[in-house]
Amino acid sequence: MKLLTTLTLGVALTMGSAAFAADYTMRLSHGDNENNPTHVTALKFEELVEKYTDGRIDVQIFPSNQLGSEQEVAQAVRTGSIESEIVYTGNLVPLAPSVGVMMLPYAFTSTDQAHAAMDALTDPLNERLPREAGVRILGYLEKGFRVLTNGEREVKNLDDLQGLKIRVSKNNIAIETFRSWGLDPVPMAWAEVFPALQQGVIDGQENPYTTAVSMKFNEVQDYITEIHYLIWSGPLIVSERWYQGLDADLQEALNKAGREAALYGRQNSAEETEKAMQKLVEMGMTLSGAPEDEEKWQEAARALWPSFADDIGGQEWVDQASRIIAEVTQ
Ligand code: MLT
């Protein structure tokens, strides 16, 4: 009897663990630390995927570039050796030029406009990205305007900016935009930025307020300027090869979870941005607001738009995307 009970219990335990074991593991990489809103969205995605797939897909989150830089991981997602990533649009654009329509300087004046554009562009992008880059978008995140920080001096106008060594993400749009303001920017992987600021290899960088807080940039930077040239947008991408190997119901569950997790993150974005700004000021950083000659910054950067067509998917796509953006942001 005791043997029977032990056997029955053993079988039940085995069946139980088989019933609860996931069919798939989905690694989700991102470049921010656990105090950043990106991680909050990643956790929400994990929760929703596990709920909508009844645990058949097990999401494992790897924050802080643990699996490689954002650009390296995007390449790995393309080949399917990593399943998914949340990646800043500027770090995806060298692999997937079409997403670059989200990062034309001064294209959006509010986060509401950026949200409308992301939502309207996701389907057309998903018709292009699988072929172009081997990835597809499950949801599009937003974390507010990128602000300029530096450790040298208050930047109130273009003259103050001259001579500063500013890190930018490694893509032509960011590099040329900063050149149009008279700088020789330093393209650098995100993971290298904090030590480079600490060691004085660079004087400054640009990222959202929430990132400046999560990275403790106040320890190595003193001044903030709200240059308003770009909103941090970043898709949650999945490997097309891996996605196509899933049953339709699992694909649908991922689409739903990605959409909802991105919306969840966006809902908190404005409030988190405001809190982060206040915190940086409380911690001693000097906030200069917008440059007093902002129209000159805008004029120089906007003049570059036609020259970016090849970097962002070609003129035909730029025209199509521009029409879509104009329709939804009016
Ligand atoms: C970057 O500047 O490379 C990105 O904004 C970093 C990030 O993904 O948060």
- Write down the pTM of the prediction: 0.93
169 lines ligand 1 (CB under 6 A): yes
Query: CA 254, 258, 259: angle at the middle one, nearest 5?
Result: 120
> Does residue 330 carry a pLDDT above 80?
yes
The residue whose CA is least distant from atom 4 of ligand 1 is 88
What are the Cα distances from residue 247, in Å, to 175, 250, 259, 276? 42, 5, 19, 41
H-assigned helices in 82-147: 89-92, 111-133
What is the residue extent of each domain of the chain?
A: 2-329
Distance 233 CA to ligand 1 centre (A): 10
Arithmetic mean of pLDDT over the chain? 94
Distance 207 CA to ligand 1 centre (A): 7
- Residue 49 is inside which H or E element, if any? helix 37-52
Q: Is 106 left (phi over 0), alpha (psi -120 to 50) or beta?
A: left
pLDDT digits (tens, 9 = 90+) for 63-110: 999 999 999 999 999 999 999 999 999 999 999 999 999 999 999 999
Which of 277, 266, 264, 329 is CA-nearest to residue 109? 329
207 lines ligand 1 (CB under 6 A): yes
Residue 191: predicted pLDDT: 95
Taking the C-alpha atoms of residue 164 and residue 70, their distance in angstroms, rounded to an integer, is 25
> Does residue 251 carry a pLDDT above 90?
yes
Residue 20: predicted pLDDT: 67
pLDDT digits (tens, 9 = 90+) for 4-15: 344 444 434 444
Q: Which atom of ligand 1 lies at the shortest distance from residue 205's CA?
A: 2
pLDDT digits (tens, 9 = 90+) for 138-165: 999 999 999 999 999 999 999 999 999 9
The contacts of residue 224 (CB under 8 Å, 6+ apart) are 147, 148, 149, 212, 280, 285, 286, 287, 288
211 lines ligand 1 (CB under 6 A): yes
pLDDT digits (tens, 9 = 90+) for 43-62: 999 999 999 999 999 999 99
Find the mean pLDDT for residues 305-320: 96
Distance 277 CA to ligand 1 centre (A): 17
Fold adopted by 2-329 = D-Maltodextrin-Binding Protein; domain 2 (3.40.190)
Residue 184: predicted pLDDT: 98
